[in-house]
Chain A
Amino acid sequence: MFYGTELKNRLLLGTAQYPSPDILRAAIAASGTEVITVSLRREGAGGAGFRDILKDSGCRILPNTAGCHSAREAVTTAQMASEVFGTNWIKLEVIGHADTLQPDPFALVEAARILCADGFEVFPYTTEDLILGEKLIEAGCRVLMPWGAPIGSGQGLRNIEGLKSMRAHFPDVPLVIDAGIGAPSQAAQAMEMGFDAILLNTAVAKALDPVAMAEAFSRAVDAGRQAYDAGLMPRRDMAEASTPVFGMAELLA
């Protein structure tokens, strides 16, 4: 699924903003997630205490470049992440604006080119723009992570038609909805649409009970995927009786 790594669990969790490392650990366990993302830009080399706790979780770590605003910053952070975590996976985030936290597509492609050429397996945080997606594939990315909505906004899938087009346009590329998911129903909706996985952080970390919310999301992601595999019925404009008309008792005969 992701650069040759198959995952049983299709929920990926961010590790920021939890009330405590213990609650984070419990949320990871409750969700059954196999991949967690970790930021480095702000914490720097001094974040070892927290990172050791994350390493102990047994999850595969996907370091991210959250907080980077230029290709150069992102590349440097990715290189540091690979040293710190001993992985060539990197969630590439290059922020274009501090208010919307939307990706800077130009710097994103530039950084992706450099990192892919350097042997990194890049998970780019992108928009639903198809051409941008193609440029990222061309740069060497084998996974795309379109946003559902701006980071931390909890708005769900803001451009459903655009995301459907993206799914159709990249049938063989693993697509992860990254950012903007606020409720399990939104995660289930994305999975029903055929997305491969969901990455989220705030909706779980800032829930009043993060552990219970992690489990709720995990179930929703499972349900959505199962529904997609089972084949959803088409939407119809008119009613169609589910009870057959023929064979009914003819009471007045």
Chain B
Amino acid sequence: MISILGSGVAGLCAATALMDAGVEVEVICPDTAPAPASRLAGGMLAPFCEGESAPDIIVTRGQAAIAWWAAHVDVTRHGTLVVAPPRDAQELDRFARATRAHRWVTPNALEPDLEDRFARGLYFENEAHLDPNAALTALKHRLLAQGVVFRDGAPQGRIVDCRGMSATETLPDLRGVRGEMLEVYTPEVTLSRPVRLLHPRFPCYIVPRGEGRFMIGATMVESSRSGPITARAAMELLSAAYSLHPAFAEAEIIMTGADLRPSFPDNIPALRRKDTGFHINGMYRHGFLMAPVLGMDLAGLLTQESADAH
């Protein structure tokens, strides 16, 4: 028996990957545990775009996430569009140099609502996105249907600690990187894929969530303050959204969120051994991209161990 601590994206992916591999699990998730940071994620499965600042391991290993998620939950495979305001057009050239698997497009050919505000854009055809909350709920229901117990109390089996920032006391090199986001509603804008707006100071992305809902994210602040979104963050994100499409000015703000991304010093999510158990943590901004990969790594280790034991 494996006891997964935590039911955010790291915990649920680990539990699912282990069950897929035939390893029995339980999930320990006290009612008093803080809500997982992954509830506020963008839900972009964008390994190539992330390569702009992330090391190559995220790009190469993260690609597996798309097929994994598609095998378990609803995933939209419409790629990612990257644009820049006219006066920052050179940011696109830099982005193109720093990434791969893209091609130049006329943005309104993919997203007619962008009209002629952007002369050119980068299209990352092989990327995808999902709705984080819907995906996490679907994983949980799937696990429940397979008979996995979600409960409070003492773990019965070997521990796989996926508690994010709550594991700080046993992971001294874990720090929080604050992220802030908004969700808005407007029936006036239609986007069929995540759009990233490059801006030297206020980069942002907009992820369509369907039925007029859009997630606008996200700030990256080296701070462990977990309070509500700041006025500055809201202004920056909203003004970036407005520059993407003026109709966002009339959108209703239906939700705001702020939380901490658990991060290791290299900003790479990791599976680590700890005593007889494991940690999966440091998801940083790559939770949905890397949690399936680390879950499968763990499943591989455990099945190998049990094969060796026989």
**Is B truly associated with A?**
yes
A interface residues, Cβ below 8 angstroms from B: 19-23, 25, 42-50, 53, 152, 206, 208
Which single member of B55, B94, B223, B265 contacts A47 (CB below 8 Å)? B223
Q: B285 to chain A: closest CB distance in Å? A: 11
Q: How far, in angstroms, from A139 to B70 measured CA to CA in the complex?
A: 64
Contacts of A19 in B (CB 8 A): 53-55, 267
Given the interface pairs A21-B265, A43-B222, A152-B200, the reply to whether A49 lies near B98 with Cβ below 8 Å is: no
Contacts of A23 in B (CB 8 A): 266
Given the interface pairs A21-B265, A152-B200, A208-B98, the reply to whether A49 lies near B225 with Cβ below 8 Å is: no
A47–B266 CB distance below 8 A: no
**Closest A residue, CB atoms, query B176:** A49
B224–A20 CB distance below 8 A: no
Contacts of A53 in B (CB 8 A): 175, 265
B53–A43 CB distance below 8 A: no
Is B310 close to A, CB under 8 A?
A: no
Which single member of B94, B223, B268 contacts A42 (CB below 8 Å)? B223
Q: A93 to chain B: closest CB distance in Å? A: 15
Contacts of B267 in A (CB 8 A): 19-22
Contacts of B266 in A (CB 8 A): 20-23
B225–A45 CB distance below 8 A: yes
Q: B234 to chain A: closest CB distance in Å? A: 14
B223–A20 CB distance below 8 A: no
Q: How far, in angstroms, from A206 to B201 measured CA to CA in the complex?
A: 12
- Number of CB contacts from chain A to chain B under 8 A: 52
Is B221 close to A, CB under 8 A?
A: yes
A47–B224 CB distance below 8 A: yes
Contacts of A22 in B (CB 8 A): 265-267
Given the interface pairs A20-B266, A152-B200, A208-B97, the reply to whether A42 lies near B221 with Cβ below 8 Å is: yes
What are 16 pairs between A and B in contact, CB < 8 Å? A20-B265, A20-B268, A22-B265, A22-B266, A42-B223, A43-B223, A44-B223, A44-B225, A46-B176, A46-B224, A46-B226, A47-B222, A49-B175, A50-B222, A206-B94, A208-B98
- Interface extent on B, as a size class? 20 to 34
Q: How far, in angstroms, from A23 to B94 measured CA to CA in the complex?
A: 19
**Closest B residue, CB atoms, query A24:** B265
Is B193 close to A, CB under 8 A?
A: no
Interface residues of B in 265-301 (CB under 8 A from A): 265-268
Contacts of A45 in B (CB 8 A): 225
**Closest A residue, CB atoms, query B268:** A20
Interface residues of B in 193-232 (CB under 8 A from A): 200-201, 221-226, 232
Contacts of B94 in A (CB 8 A): 206
Q: How far, in angstroms, from A50 to B98 measured CA to CA in the complex?
A: 25
Q: How far, in angstroms, from A46 to B97 measured CA to CA in the complex?
A: 34
Q: How far, in angstroms, from A48 to B225 measured CA to CA in the complex?
A: 10
Counting chain B CB atoms within 10 Å of each CB, the highest count among A45, A46, A53, A208 belongs to A46
Contacts of B98 in A (CB 8 A): 208
Q: How far, in angstroms, from A172 to B94 measured CA to CA in the complex?
A: 40
Contacts of B226 in A (CB 8 A): 46
Which single member of A46, A48, A152 contacts B178 (CB below 8 Å)? A46
Contacts of B178 in A (CB 8 A): 46
Contacts of A208 in B (CB 8 A): 97-98
Q: How far, in angstroms, from A69 to B258 measured CA to CA in the complex?
A: 25
Instruction: Rank and list the top 6 A-B pairs by shortest CB-CB distance, nearest first.
Output: A49-B175, A46-B225, A50-B222, A20-B267, A46-B223, A22-B266
Contacts of A44 in B (CB 8 A): 223, 225
Q: How far, in angstroms, from A19 to B53 measured CA to CA in the complex?
A: 5
Q: A206 to chain B: closest CB distance in Å? A: 8
**Closest B residue, CB atoms, query A19:** B53
Q: B52 to chain A: closest CB distance in Å? A: 9
Contacts of B53 in A (CB 8 A): 19
Q: How far, in angstroms, from A47 to B175 measured CA to CA in the complex?
A: 9
**Closest B residue, CB atoms, query A23:** B266
Counting chain A CB atoms within 10 Å of each CB, the highest count among B94, B222, B226 belongs to B222
Interface residues of B in 38-58 (CB under 8 A from A): 53-55
Contacts of B201 in A (CB 8 A): 152
Given the interface pairs A19-B53, A49-B176, A50-B175, the reply to whether A43 lies near B221 with Cβ below 8 Å is: yes
Which single member of A21, A25, A48, A152 contacts B224 (CB below 8 Å)? A48
